[in-house]
Amino acid sequence: MDRRSFLLGMAQAAAAALVACPARANVPRPYDWNGSPPRSSREAFVDWMVKNRGEDPRFLGQRFDRFEQLVSHHDVWDESDMRAFLLTPREEFVTAENLDRAYEWHHLNIGFGVTITGPHTVARMTNTLEIRRGDKVLEIGTGSGYQSAYLSNLTPNVWSIEIIPGLARRTRALYDTLIARGYSEYRAIRTRNADGYYGWEDAAPFDKIIVTCGIDHIPPPLIQQLTPDGIMVIPIGPPGAQHVLKAVKRRSPDGSVSVVRSDIYGGAIIPFVPFTGAHSS
């Protein structure tokens, strides 16, 4: 084995050894699709979540504070999306070294050369999808697992693809651990280690698709796997300088397909980790 291969193997092993954080209390009450924490005050939210979800008051306080920032910046506006953000424990999906920074504005390293997207971007991209309960949603780039966990509070039909084998295994193990602790909504998440450029053909079509890595074009297979009037949110542009687009698939009476694009940030550049796979080789 040469020195480069040895160092790469050591780096991958170190990344794989990172865990989100020590397991905490189990969820004390069954998941209820009609249950929603109060938003009248920080205290009321924390109290409800401790009783119903068994989560740490320290992180719950940080989550509520960030939620108020999301609302004031118009990054979340739909009632169901507000509920989804408040019910998703972001602290479970960051690495141990970043645990105290879980609810900071920006992205954080999760190992394997990738990051967990900042909460404002996750919220705006997700709310833009206009997900309704029962929609089939495909995520490209499982990453930390936070985005799919968020989605599972919006619909019980979530598919997620991760191209990095070690990260795919780590995140699947995390989901399974959280399900065992009582986060039964995560049973909605089907995962696959594959090249997301080609989508998940045998599970298609999808009502909504979210891409969490940057690419310079919309992959044709993803458009093909999107239902008519379906919505995709995807970062498009050169490395480190993407625009986050909402792409709506339209089918004309003559059968022709068009894609209507709009920039969800009004032209602002939002950097993402690169979309990797066979298409880029």
Q: What is the DSSP string of 230-267?
A: EEEEEEESSTT--EEEEEEEEE-TTS-EEEEEEETTTT
Residue 213, both tokens: 């890595």
Q: Is residue 119 part of a domain?
A: yes
- What CATH number does residue 65 fall under? 3.40.50.150
88 Cβ contact partners less than 8 Å away, ≥ 6 residues apart? 146, 149, 150, 153
What is the span of the domain harbouring residue 66? 3-275
Q: What is the pLDDT along the chain (281 residues), one digit of tens a residue?
A: 433 333 334 444 444 444 445 446 699 999 999 999 999 999 999 999 999 999 999 999 999 999 999 999 999 999 999 999 999 999 999 999 999 999 999 999 999 999 999 999 999 999 999 999 999 999 999 999 999 999 999 999 999 999 999 999 999 999 999 999 999 999 999 999 999 999 999 999 999 999 999 999 999 999 999 999 999 999 999 988 999 999 999 988 888 889 999 999 999 999 999 999 877 65
> How far is residue 78's CA from residue 192's CA, in Å, rounded to a whole number?
29
In a domain, 281, yes or no: no
| Of residues 66, 87, 63, 64, the one with CA closest to residue 75 | 66
Tell me how many domains the chain contains.
1
Neighbouring C-beta atoms of residue 12, cutoff 10 Å: 17
280 found inside a domain: no
- Report yes or no on 35 lying in a domain: yes
Output helix, strand, coil percentages for the chain, rounded to the nearest 5: 40, 20, 40
- Structural domain includes residue 80: yes
- Encoded amino acid at 221, one letter: P
**209 within a domain of the structure (yes/no):** yes
Query: Domain for residue 226, yes or no?
Result: yes
Per-residue pLDDT at 2 = 39
Q: Give which of 183, 193, 115, 109 is closest to 150, Cα–Cα.
A: 183
What stretches of 97-256 show up as alpha helix (H) in DSSP? 119-128, 146-151, 165-180, 220-224
Does residue 130 fall inside a structural domain?
Answer: yes
Reported pTM: 0.90
User: Residue 154 in contact with residue 126, Cβ under 8 Å?
Assistant: yes
Identify the pLDDT of residue 240. Answer: 84
Say if CB 151 and CB 175 are below 8 A apart: no
